[in-house]
Amino acid sequence: MAEEEVEKIIHHTKRIFINNVDSYASKCIAKFLSACVVGASLVETDEPEVEEGEERLSKDDHPKVKDGTFQIVGTIANKNERRPSYVLDEYFQLKREELLEHLMECDIIIYNITEDADQMDEASWAISALHAEMARFSQPKMFILISTVMTWALSKPVDADDPEIPFTEEDYRRRRAHPNFKEHINVEKHVVKMGKTKSSLLSTYVVASGVQYGMGEQVFHFFFKTSWLGDLPKVPIFGEGTNVIPTIHINDLAGVIQNVIDHKPKPHYLVAVDDSKITIDDIVKTIADVVGPGKTKRVPKEDAFLTRDLRQMDIDALFVNLRIEAVYLKESFNIHWVCESGLIDNIDRVVEEYKQTRGLLPIRVCIMGPPAVGKSTVAERICKHYKLHHIRLKETITETLAHLESIVRMEDGETEAEDSATSSELLETLKENMDQNGGRLDDQYVIRIMRDKLKSKLCRNQGFVLDSFPKTYEQAKDLFYADDDEPEDMRSKIPPFNKKIIPEFVFSLDSSDAFLKNRVLNLPESLVEGTSYSQEQFLRRLARFRESNVEDETVLNYFEELDIHPEHIEITSSDDQEYLVVTERIIKSVGKPKNYGPTSQELEEEERRSADRRLRTEAQKRADTERRETEEAQQRAARWEEWSKCLEEVKKQEHDLLEVQAVPLRNYLMKNVMPTLTQGLIECCKTRPQDPVDFLAEYLFKSNPQVE
């Protein structure tokens, strides 16, 4: 189509309101529409505009603003998150009067009720309020309700004799909702009814969405996460798994919304599903094969209700059994489909979106160094911090042999006879080689085992810490060589290598021989016995390591050739027994984790442990305080008793001293003073003078024997 014709179709910028714009579906739809030009879906083009838009929208950058693009505003449920750049304005916990004024400013109002049941009441109020205010409209408005095919869940078959005949949009009046989605169907009917009164001013549409997937996942996230983490050897399938689930990629749903806005279709009710007719069994098996262990198991349907990561709405969607087709979309809309054929046919794309959206990228680390320098301790700490897999040579060989033996014994009923024969042959070869070499394996088998381990899905998903391997330049070359199907850059001077298993970070721990010998000598006898840390074995290993690392072709040289520059860390002190300083330095170099954080169970367990530690600490503090107070009280009592005894003794001594000092004075008074004083008192009594004191004084003065 000529450019002038395109210009005629494209309109001015339109303002779109989307509720809960920070939720999964609303966020993806907002991102998609913010990069769309008004009226673009009316133009037939061969260019994959949607895919290019997705490349932009997979990042959190602001899409390039074009003239005539949609402007997005909306409500949010969490105000603590940073406002995304593709949203022009956000509203948080508005009163309905304020919300109505914002809705009146918009050309298109989109209400998504597929995620939060609480939004149904607001959606019903919004369409009623807008309908009541049509007289105030400055221009026509459109109201789009994004509902769910769960409102069709209990619909009777189109043909009772052939229940596999799919429903279409034309059958929407016959639909019967799942018991938990009856309120959804009531809101659908209300929205359709409001749009029939004066559609020239207020047109309404209901889009019944299939189970949404893509861009990080929501309903199927449990299966992606379980497969990714690999905590379970088999991914669970709840129930029989034979129910057909209608699905749609979230960006395809956004494309349907774009077409509804541009085309203003005559039908008020539309179904948005892809072409797939797949069961939950097919979906989970595909996810497990591509992301996880490749094995599934059927578990009772009731187990889904015990799974914390699944909401009631998710469980209902996983058990729906519905065949439905979106005929109108195929015939009338211009949709650049992302996953028209469904999740399974596009699983690689969906998995890549899942990893990119959730930031799930592997971290590959290699830690080298002499024996007893502390590599394994550091590796364990790094694995715990980043949730990586600790890869050690001896444990990997033991694990491989045990796995091969389990396959040969046919412990797994799903094991194919061909796999069993191959495993049996490999097991015999390995055991024979170990018998010939005194329990050791030749390098070719060691490399094969370690390479298979690094290429396993768990290591490729989360990443790994490679502990003390490879030990030589040749081993490194053989371990990390490029596969035949990997493209080689002929212009590059760097030797070809496998980018999916090569470590991104290499750390070389080192220390002096004297320091290492002293460390080993100070190890407890119980730890040394039966290990390679006995004096003779350790010295041989240390000498072997030093000899192999003085040549030009060392493991560190191999990484240098690939422009992967090892970071050297010198261990010089025995004070840091837990290697906290070394671990912090490595974490600083590697950066933030790129895996799932702690699960809710792990957080609860950690919270319980923290609470227990806090209670024990507080109890210990109280016990220490009480003990100190008791000891201090006892000491005070003892000191008081001792002081009281001393005081009594001092008083007694003072009393005795005063008694001794008072004897001469008493004798003097009795001999010289008391007789005259007694006679004076008698005379005073006889005479009864007016001033007895003066009389007594005068008498004593006159009668004093010492006065002549």
CA distance 220 to 313: 12
- Res 81: pLDDT: 83
**Within this chain, do residues 394 and 345 fall inside the same structural domain, yes or no?**
no
- pLDDT tens figures, 85-116: 999 999 999 999 999 999 999 999 999 999 98
Token pair in block for residue 515: 């320091």
> Residue 295 burial (CB < 10 Å; 0-12/13-18/19+)?
middle
Nearest to 419 by CA among 429, 405, 431, 408: 408
Domain that holds residue 689: 600-703
Please tell me the total count of domains within the chain.
3
233 and 109, same structural domain?
Answer: yes
User: Distance of CA 352 to CAs 344, 585, 701, Å?
Assistant: 13, 31, 128
pLDDT tens digits, one per residue of 193-224: 999 988 899 999 999 999 999 999 999 999 99
Q: How many helices (H) and strands (E) would you count in the chain?
A: 26, 16
Please give the average per-residue pLDDT across 495-512, as a whole number: 92
Examine the domain organization and report whether 413 and 334 are in the same domain: no
Query: Is the preceding peptide bond at 362 cis, omega within 30 degrees of 0?
Result: no
Q: Rounded mean pLDDT of 533-541?
A: 80
Q: Is the dihedral of CA 188, 189, 194, 199 positive or negative?
A: positive
At residue 50 the predicted structure's pLDDT band, cuts being 50, 70 and 90, is very low
Answer yes or no: is 504 within a domain.
yes
Question: What CATH number is associated with residue 697?
Answer: 1.20.890.10
Region of residue 664 (phi > 0: left; psi between -120 and 50: alpha; otherwise: beta): alpha
Crossing angle of helices 182-194 and 119-132, in 10° steps, is: 10
- Of 590, 616, 642, the residue at which a domain comes to its end is 590
My answer on whether 176 and 41 are in the same domain is yes
Residue 12 domain-assigned?
A: yes
Quick one: average pLDDT of 312-328? 95
CA distance 401 to 29: 50
pLDDT for residue 271 is more than 90: yes
Q: For the segment 382-409, what is each residue's pLDDT rounded down to a tens digit?
A: 999 998 999 999 999 999 999 898 888 8
Torsion sign over Cα 129, 149, 153, 325 = positive
Q: Average pLDDT in the 8-24 region?
A: 81
Residue 6's pLDDT band (cuts 50, 70, 90): very low
CA dist 571 and 695 (Å) reads: 107
633-659 pLDDT tens trace: 999 999 999 999 999 999 998 888 888
352, 367: one domain: no
Of the candidate ranges 50-64, 358-372, 481-495, 510-524, the one whose mean pLDDT is the lowest = 50-64
CB 126 within 8 A of CB 101: no
| pLDDT mean over 517-521 | 84
Of the candidate ranges 331-345, 370-384, 483-497, the one whose mean pLDDT is the lowest: 483-497
Q: Which of 551, 566, 590 is the last residue of a domain?
A: 590
pLDDT digits (tens, 9 = 90+) for 277-288: 999 999 999 999
pLDDT at 64: 43
Alpha-helical runs (H) found in 264-359:
280-290, 312-318, 327-332, 347-358
- The mean per-residue pLDDT over the stretch 568-572 comes to 91
Task: Tell which phi-psi region holds residue 375, choosing left (phi > 0), alpha (psi between -120 and 50) or beta.
Answer: alpha
**Average pLDDT for 340-346:** 95
Q: 121-130, 376-385, 597-606: which has the minimum mean pLDDT?
A: 597-606
**pLDDT value, residue 58:** 43
Could you write out the three-class secondary structure of 583-601? HHHHHHHHCCCCCCCCCHH
CA distance 586 to 579: 11
Confidence bin at 49 (pLDDT 50/70/90): very low
In a shared domain, residues 109 and 193? yes
Would you state the pLDDT for residue 112?
97
Query: Across residues 535-545, what is the average pLDDT?
Result: 84
* Residues 611, 547 share a domain: no
Tell me how long the chain is.
Answer: 708
What is the CATH classification number for the domain harbouring 221? Answer: 3.40.50.720
Q: Is 85 contained in some domain? A: yes
How far apart CA 708 and CA 3 sit, in angstroms, is 154
> Which of residues 577 and 439 earns the better pLDDT score?
439
The predicted model gives 592-614 an average pLDDT of: 79
Task: Output the six-digit token pair for 535.
Answer: 């004096």
Instruction: Share the mean pLDDT of the chain.
Output: 87
Does 281 lie in the same domain as 196? yes
Residue 73 and residue 179 in one domain: yes
Residues 55 and 129 in one domain: yes
Averaged pLDDT for residues 527-546 = 78
For residue 530, pLDDT over 80 is answered with no
Task: Clarify whether residues 378 and 343 are in a common domain.
Answer: no
Residue 35: CB atoms within 10 A of its CB come to 23
Contact 210, 186 (CB under 8 A): no
Phi, psi of 401 (to 5 degrees): -60, -40
Q: What is the pLDDT of residue 53?
A: 39
CATH of the domain at 578: 3.40.50.300
Has residue 121 got a pLDDT over 50? Answer: yes
- Give how far Cα 394 sits from Cα of 14, 257, 342, 445, 527, Å: 64, 57, 44, 13, 18
Lowest mean pLDDT among 6-10, 160-164, 551-555, 658-662: 6-10
Model pLDDT, residue 671: 81
Spatial separation of the C-alpha atoms in residues 118 and 29, rounded to whole Å: 20
Instruction: From 358, 380, 412, give the residue that closes a domain.
Output: 358
From 429-443, 575-589, 694-708, the region with the lowest mean pLDDT:
694-708
Amino acid in the structure at residue 237: I
pLDDT of residue 551 exceeding 80, the answer is no
Residue 708 included in any domain: no
Q: Can you give the pLDDT at residue 42?
A: 84
Give yes or no: residues 563 and 614 share one domain: no
Across residues 462-470, what is the average pLDDT? 93
689 φ/ψ sector (left φ>0, alpha ψ -120 to 50, else beta): beta
Is residue 595 in a domain? no
DSSP 47: S
Judged against a pLDDT cut of 80, whether residue 534 lies above it is answered with no
CA distances from 404 to 59, 116, 289, 435 (A): 43, 48, 20, 17
Instruction: Find the helix packing angle between 393-408 and 443-454, rounded to 10°.
Output: 80
